[in-house]
Amino acid sequence: MKSVLILLIIAGMTFAIPNKPADKSVEIEKKVKKLLAEMTLEEKIGQMTQVTMQTISKTQGTKLQSHELDEVKLEEAILKYHVGSLLNVYDVAHTAEYWHEIITKIQDVAAKKSRLKIPVLYGIDAIHGATYTVGATLFPQAINMGASFNKELAKRSGEITSIETRASGIPWNFYPVMDLGRQPLWPRLWETFGEDVHLASMIGSEYIKGAQGDNISSDSKVLTCLKHYVGYSFPFNGKDRTPAYMSERTLREYFLPPFEAGVKAGALSVMVNSAEVDGIPTHSDYRLLTEILRGELKFKGVVVSDWEDIKRLHTRDRVADTPKEAVRMAVMAGVDMSMVPYDFSFYELLLELAKEKAVPMKRIDEAVSRILMVKFELGLFENAYPKKELLSKIATEEHTKVNLEAARETITLVKNDNNILPLSKKSKVLVTGPTANMLSVMNGGWTITWQGDEESLYPKDKKTVLKAIEEKIGKENVTYFEGTSFNADINTKDAVAAAENVDAIILCLGEKAYCETPGNINDFNLDHAQISLAAQLIKTGKPVITIMFEGRPRVINSIAEKSKAVVIAFLPGMEGGIATADILFGDANPSGKLPVTYPKAQNDIVHYDYKPLEFFDANAYAPQWSFGHGLSYTTFEYSDLKLSKNVIGKNEELTVTVKVKNTGKREGKEAVLLYLTDLYGSVSRPNKQLQGFEKINLNSGETKEVTFTLKPEQLSFIGRDNKRITEQGDFIISVENLKAEFKLK
Ligand code: BGC
């Protein structure tokens, strides 16, 4: 029996944004206090109220109808209800110029007509770029950023997204998603950075550092929002907004740490889990929202509800017997701002509750202070207006270049029999399948519209896979038949017949774009029509190269076994077509690695960091492709794995070095992954856990040494009493095929 050491983790929590001078925080605190003292109860409660653009619009702005602001309703919202925040768009992206017009009108009412001239905080889901700004740079989605294993790239995508969002006049981005992608059926899996705690924590933190920098009042930065705190991503049945069942240990071991990392990285807003954990709807969970988030994680920013979720404590969850009780519960649990979002009921009910003292003034002052604090941090009191000179910063050539590089780095080659890829540019190919000639399938939800599936609204100058291949090898060398839609035959026969005259078949399969609940599925297998198209093409004997554009790893076992090559592209964004063609024909060398386990069968859901029981008797980790798997057109050899010590004390760091050589003929990038295995523990220990990763570039023949530093807390886990502990004993470090052991004293 090993002795148990309680590890005191010095969290190193910083107030507000790291590196920000302390006197600025003090100065802001003073301003907040002064302003708060001048506010009426009504003005305070208005600050806690957030409504959607629809509430202040005459027409909704759909693809057939242009949007029109309702200035009477706008004045009512700001002057009568004192609303502090607005969000979104229904349901189509606007030009940046139009955003400027809208935001200017909104701030005009606040600045010129309201008593205290408190600027309005506008928020939006700029998930993979400025989603709702026409023509913005739209990056690979989060699941792809996980596949890049590239921290620099995550940071750069954060920087560019902030530049373009702020240039559109919007200072608040409801991103990043720090939910862990451990339920692959979940239709929001692609919004996560994957199944691993360390990967999600690091990629998310780097994104925040890029997006916020150390001064969010800058013209190129925005306020980020960690979502959806916490446990949202693990619905038992895989459907969106359904219950999660998790023990406190599971919550603390897997789902909480990425949020903790996000808080440490400086995020100043958090959005609440829209569903429930262990029977408690999170919007009513004082323990999660106050005791843990504030008490343990030391979060200082604003907690905003998710869409309509305070009302739903009454209408859906039935934990509150009236709408008013729902408001009381949520505010007292720790929600500072309500995304109401269609009316002013929250304002009216909270006003009643405050007058009746059912919600104490202290709690209202606390929430409003936090909201004012972020408005000061964002510099909105100095200037809340959009800046014309920033318009030229949207979709610059440089941003598009970074986006293309990102797409290339996030596409994962998982199978390449006899190095069939890259194909020669002299090949004749058949391009087929439902995702071959669409942009929406490469972008997914939160692209131009919420669902992202309005193909006709996509930019005409961006290239689908088909267009990019035609451009690369000449139209005369490409035959195209769609074959099937997502779920029905169109012209499979023609596609099969055309295979006769080509050297290779490029088969593009996958899912249509979707977001949230509309993306729920009952069957994890890819639709039958697509499987049948693949089977018929495979039968022709011509080599089939399968490319998957999808938001989650749909089961494709029969196709995977018989395709000569398989590329998991997930959702590579607006430059995904070019990037895919570059990889297929060798103009780019793939370097993505899977950020999730790719299951082989419907019920084969096991994570790479499985427990001993999951690999015992008939149980096994035998997925289609494992987490971290990804091929290159060059080869890498690992050697000289060295540890700074073989025995360490409980507060000591461990340095690990390893050499990686490019032994192939071409330049390539390699994500070097370091895993840790704790051999014995008082709670069953995972097979291995990712504890470090670095992406390096190597020329042919080049060798680099990669150094990792393991911090003491990286050896810890959640013990039987649900507290974080470290135990003495033996550990194994593994990098690729190399292993080294050490002992913790
Ligand atoms: C989603 C959030 C999003 C919010 C505002 C909700 O339905 O769950 O992720 O930020 O809408 O658009």
Closest CA to 171 of 138, 207, 219: 219
Q: How far is the CA of 307 from the centre of ligand 1 (A)?
A: 6
Dihedral angle computed from the Cα positions of residues 249, 253, 258 and 263, in that order, rounded to the nearest 10 degrees: 60
Pairing of strands 724-727, 4-6: antiparallel
Read off the pTM: 0.96
Predicted local distance difference test score (pLDDT) of residue 223: 98
Under 8 Å between Cβ of 45 and 364:
yes
Question: In sequence order, which residues have a C-beta less than 8 Å from that of residue 167 and are 6 or more positions away?
Answer: 96, 130, 219, 386, 387, 390, 391, 393, 394
| CB of 227 sitting under 6 A from ligand 1 | yes
Predicted local distance difference test score (pLDDT) of residue 63: 67
Low-confidence residues of the chain, pLDDT below 70?
1-21, 60-65
Which H or E run includes 281? strand 280-281
Catalytic residue check, 306: yes
Under 8 Å between Cβ of 511 and 441:
yes
Give the residue extent of every domain in the chain: 411-605, 636-744
Closest CA to 350 of 327, 319, 329, 323: 327
Under 8 Å between Cβ of 49 and 85:
yes
CATH class (in words) of the domain with range 636-744: mainly beta
Predicted local distance difference test score (pLDDT) of residue 545: 98
Question: In sequence order, which residues have a C-beta less than 8 Å from that of residue 137 and are 6 or more positions away?
Answer: 129, 130, 160, 161, 164, 394, 395, 399, 400, 402, 403, 574
Closest CA to 225 of 212, 240, 235, 206: 212
User: Which of 271, 515, 520 best tests ligand 1's pocket when mutated (most atoms within 8 Å of CB)?
Assistant: 271
| CB of 306 sitting under 6 A from ligand 1 | yes
Buried b (16+ CB within 10 A) or exposed e, 297-334: bebbbbbbbbbbbbbbbbeebebbeebbbbbbbbbbbb
Under 8 Å between Cβ of 659 and 638:
yes
Strand-pair partners of 302 = 269
Distances (CA, A) of 536 to 331, 478, 618, 624: 58, 19, 34, 21
Predicted local distance difference test score (pLDDT) of residue 8: 33
Closest CA to 717 of 258, 250, 265, 336: 250
Predicted local distance difference test score (pLDDT) of residue 16: 44
**411-605 and 636-744 agree in CATH topology:** no
| CB of 174 sitting under 6 A from ligand 1 | yes
For residue 631, give the 3-state DSSP assignment: strand
Return the residue whose CA atom lies nearest to atom 5 of ligand 1: 307
| Ligand 1 atom at minimal distance to the Cα of residue 341 | 5
Question: In sequence order, which residues have a C-beta less than 8 Å from that of residue 367 and are 6 or more positions away?
Answer: 47, 48, 302, 331, 335, 336, 337
| CB of 274 sitting under 6 A from ligand 1 | yes
Closest CA to 293 of 277, 269, 274: 269
Under 8 Å between Cβ of 628 and 587:
no
Show contacts of 294-297: CB within 8 Å, 24+ apart. Answer: 294/334, 297/13, 297/259, 297/260, 297/263
Which H or E run includes 184? none
Buried b (16+ CB within 10 A) or exposed e, 42-55: ebbbbbbbbbbbbb
> According to the CATH classification, is domain 411-605 in 3.40.50.1700?
yes
Predicted local distance difference test score (pLDDT) of residue 216: 97
- Where are the strands (E) in 447-591, listed by range? 478-481, 504-510, 544-549, 565-568
Q: How far is the CA of 306 from the centre of ligand 1 (A)?
A: 6
CA distance 441 to 267: 30
Amino acid present at 25:
S
To which residue do tokens 């035998």 refer?
Answer: 622
CA distance 211 to 502: 46
| CB of 307 sitting under 6 A from ligand 1 | yes
User: Which of 174, 192, 240, 342 best tests ligand 1's pocket when mutated (most atoms within 8 Å of CB)?
Assistant: 174
Peptide bond into 368 cis (omega under 30): no
Dihedral angle computed from the Cα positions of residues 608, 611, 616 and 618, in that order, rounded to the nearest 10 degrees: -50
Helix 576-584 / helix 465-473 crossing angle, nearest 10 deg = 50
Predicted local distance difference test score (pLDDT) of residue 66: 80
Q: Which of 196, 306, 309, 678 is catalytic?
A: 306
CA terminus-to-terminus distance, the chain: 14
Model pLDDT for residues 639-670, shown as the tens digit of each residue = 999 999 999 999 999 999 999 999 999 999 99
CA distance 339 to 717: 35
Under 8 Å between Cβ of 103 and 386:
yes
Longest alpha-carbon distance in the chain: 80
